[in-house]
Every structure is written in structure tokens, then in C-alpha cells.
Amino acid sequence: MDRLDNTIRPYAWGSTTAIPALLGTEPTGEPQAEMWMGAHPGAPSRTGRGTLVEVIDADPQGELGTAAVAKFGPRLPFLLKILAAGAPLSLQVHPNLAQAKEGYADEENRGIPIGAGHRNYKDANHKPELICALTEFDGLCGFRDPSQVADLLAGLDVDSLKPYVDLLRAHPEEAALREVLTAVLGADREDMARTVTEAATACARLGGDYAPYADIAHHYPGDPGVIAAMLLNHVRLQPGEALFLGAGIPHAYLNGLGVEIMANSDNVLRCGLTPKHVDVPELLRIVRFEASDPGVLRPEASPDGEEIYETPIDEFRLSRYVIPEGTPARDLTLPTPQILLCTAGSVRTGELELAPGQSVFVPANEKAEVSGPGTVFRATVVV
């Protein structure tokens, strides 16, 4: 197995303290948003044998296993991250696999450079993802019931929001949500900025259920995404709880530290809370306009102590072991590739000792035993 040396991405929304606190390092004063573990070409993990991309390319069958290569091709199909949000991320959705293939092919045919700021599809893959909280973690996930959104907006007593309240109360669910999001994102920017400012002042005054939106507005003053965010469910995860984000579900992470895993893709359609490109027509084509419960996940324990976060896709499978001191080593050997990530205590696997934030890549069929005391997350695939 290979100890991983991982890149930390300094996105502006990142916490300046959360990842250093996990790693036991001194903060630099700069944001540290995500630590990437995997074979994504943008920031592949490094090993003693080269980058993880180079290691897998040299022997896909040996590193990934026959079944994984047959199902997903000669590549690691997931990306594992530690995510540390100190400010809200952009409000966004991800396409399903058919939409991603269609969108990528269309932009390729139109000759849009892959690095262009207005490009939507960086690859032809979908991007389902799972976030598991290591600390209290705040996010937005899925649409509220339109009547609940209407009550929330009406409570602000902002005249320019009243037409949205009327729409939400007068139309069926899908039409109401679609019409209001379309109106918010298509409104005159100066008029909407004034509306957002007035709404943010009311949110700060009212507190309670409105407090998250006051904080969002503090970070993104005047952004239409502040009103769009009020259409969504606010969720506060406790450590160990998780959210699964499927295709078409609008979401945003607001604050906290978590372990995130996703299909190996960069495809994002943004709704707001960002200076980046917002393609409203394409966004409206991808979004699923239906109210939904956020569906907080809690792990399901197996007899051997593995706590599994069940999801409906195969590109990744995330689980957790909380290993008490003095218990026998657990055999984690699999016929599929694994990344093991320590998040608490001290975990030994083979000859390697892992402190919080440290990780290893375990090739398919390679012997992998772990002992504690500590907590280790296991990322692999379903074949």
C-alpha cells in the first residue's frame, strides 16, 4: 500500500483553521478549503511510486482489480476529500450521466475551450456526491415545499418579494418552484441587489430560521443566490451524519468540516453565491423542481464494525470504522481499490501509522489490516 501525499486547495471559501487543526499543523492565515485524495488529473495524490494517476496507468488491472476495470474502465472512479467550509460555497446542481455526456459533446462540437470560464461541462461524467460531517456542518439541500418557502419569504415583509410569495401559493409545486427560481435569477441585477439587501436586514433582525440566510448575505451581499437559497432546506449535520446529493438537486455547503466523496467529475451548474459563470437556461434544464426531504444519512453498522453510508450509485462506497483501543486488528482486504483515511486517534495499517488527516491507497486484493485506537474512513467502489 502507498502512503498518500495530498494537495490542499486554497479556495476563497475555505476555513483558515479547520484543516490545520485536523492535521496538527500551524495555520498559514490563508484559506485551506479541500484536501484531495485520489487520481483526479487536477491534483492527483503523490506516492513513492509517482502520482496515483501514474501508478494506476502503469498497471490498471493490478491496482484497481479486474472487476473494477471491467465496470468503470482503467481509472479510479471516485475522488475523496476533506472539505473545510469557512464561508458558503456556490449554490449548485450536478447533471445526470446522460445530461453530462450530451452537454460535454455539445460544448466540444462548439469548440468551447475546456478551461473557458463560460464552459459548463469539463467532462462527460456525472457527479453524485456524499458529505459526512466531522464537526457540526451546515448546508442547503433540495427544495422546500412551496408553501413553506412562501411563509418564509412573507415573514420578511419585503414588498419586492411579495410577487414570489403569490406565485408560490398559486401554482402547483413544480411550476411554482421553476417560476420563482427563474424570476430570481433573471431579475434586473440592481433591483435584485436592493431586494437582497432589504431581505438580509430582515433576516438578521429576525434570527432563528432566518439566521443562515443573513450569514449567506454577509458573504455575498446583493447576490440573487441569497433569495434562491431561501427556496432550499437548511440542514445541520451532527458529526457522523451525512447527505447524499444526487443529480439535479440544488445544494450548497455553508460551514463545517467533513469527509466528501464523489464520482470523479468537475461538472457543476451554478445558481448563485459565486462570481463565476451562471448559465441560467442550462441550469433550469438540469434542476429537478420538486420538494424533497434532505434525507440525512446515518451509517448502518455491519457485524464486523464497519459503518456503511448507503447510496444508490456504484462509483463510490464510503464507510467508517471506529476502533477502540485493545481490539484485534480488522481485516479490510478487498478485491477493489481502497483509500483509507484516518480522522481521529492513531490508526496502524500494515507498517504505516496514520495520524488524523493522513491516508493510504490500497490496491485491489492487497492485504489490509487496521488497528486503533482511532477512526478510519474507507472509500472504495461497488462492483
- Kindly list the catalytic residues: 270
The 10 Å Cβ neighbour count of residue 105 is 12
Q: What are phi and psi of 336, to 5 degrees?
A: -125, 160
Integer CA distances (angstroms), 104 to 116, 121, 159, in order: 13, 5, 41
CA distances, 383 to each of 96, 308, 314, 318, 334 (Å) = 20, 16, 7, 14, 11
Residues 6+ apart with CB under 8 A from 271: 90, 91, 92, 93, 181, 185, 225, 228, 250, 278, 283, 287
Residues 130-145 as b or e (16 or more Cβ within 10 Å = b): bbbbbbebbbbbbbbb
Question: Which residues, other chains included, contact 325 with Cβ-Cβ below 8 Å and sequence gap of 6+?
Answer: 372, 373
Strand-pair partners of 317: 380
Helix, strand, or coil (residue 167): helix
Cβ–Cβ under 8 Å, residues 14 and 34: yes
3-class secondary structure, 311: coil
HSE-CB at 146 with a 13 A cutoff on CA atoms is 20
Asked if residue 27 has a cis previous peptide bond (ω within 30° of 0), the answer is no
Cell of 154: 412573507
Looking up cell 438580509 gives 200
For residue 353, count other CB atoms closer than 10 A to its CB: 13
Cα–Cα distances (Å) from 147 to 46, 152, 166, 209, 248, in that order, read 50, 9, 10, 15, 21
Beta-ladder partners of 92: 251, 270
